[in-house]
Structure 1
Amino acid sequence: MTTAALTVDSTKPLPLFPLRTVLFPGGRVTLKVFEARYLDLISSCLRERQPFGVVCLLQGSEVRQAGAATRFESTGVLAQLVEVDAIGAGVLKVRCTGGQRFQWASVHEGSDGLWSAQGLVLLPNDEAQAPGERFDDAVQALQRAYAAISQRPDADLPDEHHFDDAGWVANRWCELLPVPMAARQQLMALPDPLQRLALVDEFLRGKQLI
């Protein structure tokens, strides 16, 4: 099934899905869900028409392990359910798109192992800004990369392309580039989209990719 765009009530606890990845606004993530806590989470989000939060793991496993410590980043991204399909008994394939960034003040682990965040602060969306001539090479290289990726049978690119928006271009490059997870997290959390794109452009030039 496919869902429409949703909003979140920042005064209520936000259920979290810690992952060893960084979700960016406008990005995509596909999850194979089989743990009871996350099956319940997906069912609840569908029923209540609410997103959940994706946060990058600093310590611990995506799969619950008794007695294992879990730590994750304090800045995450709201995940909007796009498509939910049953692919087996008690197994769901879930496709999500990234929405607004958020920060949390505190987190709580329920008896079922599901984490939730309190004291939610929704961060401003990137202000639409043209990349400008300075970043023409980065924009054109991304267009070429997307043209190549779109030919793959497993391609899962955003439905809408905004090559005229600096934040969107920076975010899509951040998803593609082979940078450490900590650096990817820092880039996602940067409030200035032009600064984010400048760092991406510097990396691309340093690796002679543009």
Structure 2
Amino acid sequence: MGSRRLEIPLFPLRTVLFPGGCMPLRIFEPRYLEMVGDCLRSDSGFGICLIRDGSETGRAATFHEVGTLCRISYWQRLPNNMLGITVRGERRFRVLTSHTLPNQLTRASVELLPEEQRCPIAPRHRQAAQQLCRMLERLGLPYNKPPTDYEDAAWVGCRLAELLPLPLGRKQLLLQLSDPLQRLEELQEELEQLAGAG
């Protein structure tokens, strides 16, 4: 599937979400409670982008141009007028233009980036896939919830990039890579460095 344009709300965070990944969030600010309500009513998604400057609360933050479109897979009401949601990443996008509403919610025109095609994992990366499997077993739900695909370099690379203790700027660069084999190769080097430091 090629690229296409969408108009979506953005949720800038101090974290990076990858396609296929899941992320639990607690929603308490009015702008995001309203956004989540709109998304649930219209069965639509929103974008998560890594914050470049600013904070998650208060005035709208500036953010990196490449983010991930996500959908709400689970929600529940929490005490103190909060919502607990779990989102799942779908497609990477690039922000073309954005504007901030009076309530400090950011809306953006985005271009969906091409989906990464399934790519068989190379023998050199099998150990990385096995390490990922052990990590997900330790974490449990919702992280190890199917679908899992330890034979796909794109899926393995995205999960490792989410879970490894890497600087956020490094994770953002890995998200921006369009070649799943290059992403996994770079993560293989990170795994080897972590093993050497351990």
- Tell me whether the two structures share a fold, i.e. TM-score over 0.5: yes
Residues 1:138 and 2:128 aligned together: yes
Match of 2:177 among 177, 181, 190: 190
Residues 1:15 and 2:9 aligned together: yes
Q: Which residue type is aligned with residue 142 of structure 2?
A: D
Unaligned runs of 5+ in 2: none
Local SS of the residue matching 1:207: helix
Superposition map of 1:58-137 within 5 A: 58-65=52-59, 70-118=61-109, 120-137=110-127
For residues 11 and 24 of structure 1, do their structure 2 counterparts lie closer, same or farther at Cα, with a shift above 3 Å needed?
A: closer
Local SS of the residue matching 2:195: coil
- Which stretch shifts more, 16-25 or 85-94? 85-94
Rounded to whole Å, the distance in 1 between the matches of 2:46 and 2:193 is: 36
- Number of aligned pairs? 194
Structure 2 equivalent of residue 202 of structure 1: 189
Larger strand share, 1 or 2: 2
Which digits, 9 at most, give the CA deviation of each residue in 1:99-125, with x for residues without a partner? 10000111100011100112x211111
Q: In the alignment, is the contact (CA less than 8 A) between 2:6 and 2:112 conserved in 1?
A: no
Structure 2 equivalent of residue 3 of structure 1: none
Rounded to whole Å, the distance in 1 between the matches of 2:84 and 2:61 is: 24
Structure 1 equivalent of residue 142 of structure 2: 156
Q: Which residue type is aligned with residue 193 of structure 2?
A: G
Residues 1:165 and 2:152 aligned together: yes
Local SS of the residue matching 1:146: helix
Q: Which residue type is aligned with residue 168 of structure 1?
A: W
Which digits, 9 at most, give the CA deviation of each residue in 1:57-77, with x for residues without a partner? 011111114xxx721000000
Let me know the Cα RMSD of the aligned residues: 1.8
1:156 Cα deviation from its structure 2 partner: 2.7
Rounded to whole Å, the distance in 2 between the matches of 1:19 and 1:174 is: 16
* TM-score normalized by the length of structure 1: 0.87
1:147 Cα deviation from its structure 2 partner: 2.3
Rounded to whole Å, the distance in 2 between the matches of 1:46 and 1:143 is: 32
Q: Which residue type is aligned with residue 144 of structure 1?
A: R
Rounded to whole Å, the distance in 1 between the matches of 2:51 and 2:84 is: 21
Match of 2:49 among 44, 51, 55: 55
Superposition map of 1:24-43 within 5 A: 24-43=18-37
